[in-house]
Amino acid sequence: FGMDHLRALLGVGIALMVTLPGQAPPVVLVSGIEATLPPSALQLGDGGVAPRPASLLARPGEATTPGGVRILVRPQGAKLDFPSGAELLITPSLRICLRDGSQTLPPLGRLRLALADGTLLEFEPDGVGKRPLRAVRLIHGSTRATIWPPSRTAVDANYQRSAGAQSDLLVLGDGRAIYRPVPLGPMLVLRAVLRPRDDERWPAARIVVFGDPLSASLQRLPGHLPPQPVQFPQAPEAARRLSALAPSLFAGVVVRKASAVGPLVLPLVEGWHLGIELAAGSDRLTLGLLRSDANVPAVEWVVGDAGTELHLVRPDGGGENGPRYFMKGLPLAELRTMLPWIPTLDDLRWARAELVRQGAR
């Protein structure tokens, strides 16, 4: 999301769980190695698009996306009509508005909306008062269509999207729930910027933990260790067991109920669980893999400014001022391309506060 990024994100397809009206689980772990990651894996609706994609249709001042979303652009602004029946109105100043009166603040620059059918919409304001939009573009795969202003309508079927950080807003729910993605290591914290007032299905925040990079790093762990370490002789065998267990540890969907209290823990299989912690007084974020009968995690994924690393934890957990980890960490370098967004400091502060609200201590 851009959906091109989200579909590439981890290269996974998810075992789906239906989110019923009134339910809003705050934390979800998703896994399952396939080719695509449908937006429904985020447990925030299907984005209001049609399930069977068609061709992109573009004409001066209007377009229909492959998922059936109709875009109409006029001097007064733009209107998006979704197959679900949802509507979005976009003013010349790029406020996004709902029929119930809810609306966003205008962005500082362009507005980029990533639809659930893989279409990216770019709205460029004139920048002065209430003048008409300067430009509206649609990007789907290698096709870019400019539909506004009408005099400049053009379709480029060989468009190459530029690499780099994206500032997309994700259009989820039934088309009326707009979220800002905030990546934190192997997690995506979704911050609602717009949602209908009378629909409790779409929460103010959602934390999604992606199990596939966690599983993949565990499976790489044996090759990261020396075959016969002196200081921690059991390390290679522990790594081999974790590697073999990894595919079953992270499979399907794990949900933390909205009514859950206490530490932020997700139960896994065979007595294992994943605990998410934020160190007091610092920005250090860890995801620890722990058996229910143990006091020390077997491994920890540490999220820092330089990236995310997997660490094998020593049996004593670094007691008596000893080192907590064996050897240097194993980087999860793939996360930088899987989650291309660069969050603002405000988004990071908000995401960490949301983790604390959910029990990360």
pTM for this prediction: 0.86
Of 218, 269, 286, nearest to 246 by C-alpha is 218
Residue 137 to residue 271: CA distance in whole angstroms: 50
Residue 101 to residue 44: CA distance in whole angstroms: 21
Q: Quick one: which H or E segment has residue 243?
A: helix 235-249
Predicted confidence (pLDDT) per residue in 8-63, tens digit:
333 333 323 333 344 578 999 988 745 445 676 788 899 999 988 888 999 999 99
Predicted confidence (pLDDT) per residue in 131-152, tens digit:
788 999 999 988 999 999 988 8
Of 253, 297, 257, nearest to 276 by C-alpha is 297
- The 3-state DSSP composition of the chain as helix, strand, coil percent (nearest 5) reads 15, 35, 50
Residue 112 has pLDDT above 60, yes or no: yes
Predicted confidence (pLDDT) per residue in 245-267, tens digit:
999 999 888 988 888 889 999 99
DSSP 8-class letter at 109:
S
Q: For residues 119 and 65, is the Cβ–Cβ distance under 8 A?
A: yes
Mean pLDDT (the chain) is 85
Burial class (CB in 10 A: 0-12, 13-18, 19+), 165: exposed
Amino acid occupying residue 181 = P
- With H, G, I as helix, E, B as strand and everything else as coil, classify residue 316: coil
